[in-house]
Structure 1
């Protein structure tokens, strides 16, 4: 039995790529829509640290940083214990359009989880998570609380 390895979402945004890029790659942007606080060292090999008011946190390791087109990072897999070395890779690709930006987000690497329960928790949790987080990104870009 094979499990889905990736989650992919494409959004049409009425904002220029530079504005979307800033939302993805600055502490102000990330700390508003993707967490409650963020710190970022915006370079390949740098890290972004996100924290939520709930006490949750995540550390992202930047793998691709090609302003204002591609931002990619690895991060821990949802549902695995702290210290597990497996990571998924998340990549945002921005394409300018006549009216704004096409944003494509792909998270891959779930096939590392051959156990059905682990895979189900991670893939379903992140699928739901991206629906929420990308909705918050749109609200942030549109200036809505």
Structure 2
């Protein structure tokens, strides 16, 4: 029997900030590479392709798929990680949505996990689920009041 594997991780958080300030953050490739606090990265860009250098975690490569200001951004992870992390070629999508309370809801979906090997799949789903919780909280802390 063929078992269907989880392909995507989704998370969302409400942020008391303007859509423009949230867009400024999420439209940068690799903004979410950090240790739970938003940091500045050195980014080299060649067309749609970006190499993001993080002082702690190393080098990451992304392809910018879509930037639809001020509501939607999509990037493809192309790997280049400094450690053994089986997450290349996932699609990371962000949506910015107004809420009834005046806040902005930031949603993320990372997909492309179904084709990973069994061991890689379990590790990636677990690690990235926890990672997105931390990164969404980091975005909220960084952007609240902006």
- Asked if TM exceeds 0.5, the reply is yes
TM-score, structure 1 normalization = 0.77
Indicate the residue corresponding to 1:79 in structure 2.
85
Displacement of 1:18: 0.7
- Listed one character per residue, the Cα deviations across residues 53-85 of structure 1 (whole Å, up to 9, x for unaligned) are 22422111110110001000100467239xxxx
Gaps in structure 2 of 5+ consecutive residues? none
Contact 1:70 1:93 in 2 (8 A): yes
> CA separation in 1, counterparts of 2:106 and 2:57?
29
> CA separation in 2, counterparts of 1:110 and 1:127?
12
For the aligned residue pairs, the C-alpha RMSD in angstroms reads 2.9
Choose from 124, 127, 130 the match for 1:128: 130
Gaps in structure 1 of 5+ consecutive residues? none
How many residue pairs are counted as aligned between the two chains?
135
Choose from 33, 37, 41 the match for 1:37: 41
TM-score, structure 2 normalization = 0.77
SS at match of 2:21: helix
Choose from 77, 97, 106 the match for 1:103: 106
Shift of the 118–35 alpha-carbon distance from structure 1 to 2, 3 Å rule, reads farther
Contact 1:17 1:101 in 2 (8 A): yes
Contact 1:26 1:40 in 2 (8 A): no
Choose from 52, 55, 61 the match for 1:53: 55
Shift of the 55–101 alpha-carbon distance from structure 1 to 2, 3 Å rule, reads closer
Choose from 18, 21, 37 the match for 2:20: 18
Displacement of 1:36: 4.3
> CA separation in 1, counterparts of 2:59 and 2:136?
18
